[in-house]
Chains A and B, each alone.
Chain A
């Protein structure tokens, strides 16, 4: 009983190795799967920029983009990506936006932009500064010199904050993009890992079968 099994295991293993090496030559440089569509959405000023692409880096052209209010489920707007796989829209309202990108044949991806990350609807963050400036000016008559200085430094602070936020947004957006691309890529180690799982399961199955046969 044992010998034919052993022989079979050995033969199968050799076949597997041959198959595996044959197949390895076919694996392209990037172990990606082209079909999976991904989306990168980020806020810049009062606009949301959406970029759709497949895992192998190809742009998702002419893909349907639909934006929903994630709280009510209501459809807010829709459109199609251009030849570069890009689509942008003005923020319709300050709420959790659920952006869905549908790249034909049922390859779909979704992302939620939380309302807290969005600037106020219809305006940029600089509107906030204008409000601060006007309130300070309204009170100007009543405040003494010392307070005035404090108020102005407050304005500077808000301005600075906005500038920093913008700078960070710009600076990290390629990083974020790279990160989400990286996250989705199929790695060689995972492929090996998967094969390991399969043979591990084989081992467990053989073990239990062998115990039953005893």
Chain B
């Protein structure tokens, strides 16, 4: 899921860093103290999740979980994913330092897309299945958005990568399905057990008021 070093052209890499800086500046604004611990916890979970490999057919895949980060942290998903990517690049050489920018835009962007879809659930009647369905759709679309950004980065680098971009998108399909299921189940579980972890979840406070976080 990470783009490796030495593939993309310099303008694409630069665009990645510029995009990351801009998105980080927007998504870090007006952060409350209360948000910081939650962001850190989710960042740590995301950081670990991409290091776990599950055998799948001939190859092994790892969960991306940028959709889960999106539906829990809202717009703060971007800085969270960016931090995890920076650490993965430094500690494990996952991707590499020059591709931190484009990888952040790719995965963090997917997280933001997941949040925008997740927000739409309020327009639908509250049924027990609502969180599962929206969590699943948000995660699936998030993976595909990341895949599209990856494909775009490859295509703008050079025409010789058009075929590779196609394969990359195709490879995202099974990941999309698995992520959709995993995150859907997670969303339903969290909505029941700890709704305040989810972004914008209407919750009951001890005083009995309803308020959205």
- Residues on A lying within 8 angstroms of B by beta carbon are 4-5, 8-9, 11-13, 15-16, 19-20, 23, 26-28, 31-36, 56, 104-110, 184, 186, 190-191, 193-195, 197-199, 201-202, 205-206, 209-210, 213
Contacts and interface: CB of A to CB of B under 8 A. Distances in A.
Contacts of A209: 31, 33, 36
Given A106-B168, A198-B87, A19 B6 contact: no
Contact of B43 (A36, A186, A198): A198
Contact of A15 (B1, B53, B194): B194
A8 B37 contact: yes
Given A5-B33, A8-B37, A194 B3 contact: no
Contacts of B45: 16, 19-20, 23
Nearest to B80: A198
A19 B41 contact: yes
Contact of B34 (A8, A16, A35): A8
Contacts of A184: 93
Contact of A190 (B41, B54, B91): B91
A34 B59 contact: yes
Given A4-B34, A198-B47, A213-B33, A35 B52 contact: no
Contact of B41 (A15, A26, A201, A206): A15
Given A31-B51, A105-B171, 16 more contacts: A5-B33, A23-B52, A26-B52, A28-B53, A33-B62, A34-B53, A35-B2, A110-B6, A190-B92, A193-B91, A195-B48, A198-B44, A198-B84, A201-B40, A205-B36, A210-B33
Contacts of B154: 106
A195 B7 contact: no
B37 A202 contact: yes
Interface of B: 1-4, 6-7, 31, 33-34, 36-41, 43-45, 47-49, 51-54, 59-60, 62, 83-84, 87-88, 91-94, 154, 161, 164, 167-168, 171, 194, 197
Given A27-B52, A32-B53, A198 B92 contact: no
Contacts of B49: 23
11 contacts: A16-B44, A20-B44, A20-B48, A26-B54, A27-B51, A33-B62, A108-B6, A110-B6, A197-B87, A202-B40, A210-B33
B197 A186 contact: no
A40 to B, nearest CB: 17
Given A34-B60, A186-B51, A201-B83, A206 B2 contact: no
B52 A194 contact: no
Nearest to A19: B45
A15 B17 CA distance: 33
A198 B41 CA distance: 8
**Most B CB atoms within 10 A — which of A11, A12, A104, A184?**
A12
Given A105-B167, A202-B36, A202-B40, A36 B52 contact: no
Nearest to B56: A34
Q: Which 10 pairs between the two chains have the least Cβ-Cβ distance? A: A202-B40, A16-B41, A209-B33, A12-B37, A34-B60, A12-B41, A194-B87, A195-B44, A9-B37, A198-B44
Contacts of A15: 41, 194, 197
Given A106-B164, A108-B6, A36 B51 contact: no
Nearest to A9: B37
Contacts of A199: 40, 44
A27 B55 CA distance: 11
Contacts of B197: 15
B38 A8 contact: yes
